[in-house]
Amino acid sequence: MTALAPELDTSRWFNARAPLTLADLRGKVVVLHAFQMLCPGCVTHGTPQAEKLHRMFATSGEVAVIGLHTVFEHHAAMTEVALEAFIHEYRLTLPVAVDWPGEDDPIPRTMRRYGMRGTPTTIVIDRSGLNRPGFSGGHLVWVRPPRLARQSGHNSALRLRREECCRWVRVAGDG
């Protein structure tokens, strides 16, 4: 039997009425976006895409997109006060959790539980609560399924549109 995705171990939540748990989100696809506010790839690609996905699915109830601020370097600079300002300045509306710091280790607890190697990292958890392969580095885009691409004459990555979203592809790097 496959084990369920590990529960989040967080110290604080922003943009959420109450702490979110994976158990409470079972039945939805959960997209967990791990980031650091001083990570260039997170700021330029990962976090804006996570916010876009959150806004796209916010009312559907099908997908929950969660930000996880997971600090493994520059601890003194990335405080909760600084994160609150970051969330405000970047107009983030997705729920954002703060990963608990590691004990005697710079790697935070949830980051360690999931075996993340850096940021940005996207973890996809299916409706049954099972962890699907994550993506570290680069950024993610949605593409049209091949059938729709053939019908419309397009075969490349397209704008994020809900009716066209079907599967994830990993885009290595910025191009």
125 versus 3: which is more confidently predicted?
125
- Round to whole Å and give the CA distance between 125 and 8: 12
Judge whether 120 and 41 are in contact, CB under 8 Å: yes
Report residue 1's pLDDT band, with 50, 70 and 90 as the boundaries. Answer: low
- Cα–Cα distances in angstroms (integers) from residue 51 to residues 38, 72, 113, in the given order: 17, 22, 24
Which range (5-14, 123-132, 138-147) has the least confidence? 138-147
| CATH architecture label of 10-134 | 3-Layer(aba) Sandwich (3.40)
pLDDT tens string 77-98: 889 999 999 999 999 999 999 9
Phi, psi of 35 (to 5 degrees): -150, 165
Note the pLDDT of residue 103: 87
- Round to whole Å and give the CA distance between 112 and 87: 24
pLDDT tens string 85-136: 999 999 999 999 999 998 888 899 999 999 888 899 988 888 899 887 655 4
For the whole model, what pTM was predicted?
0.78
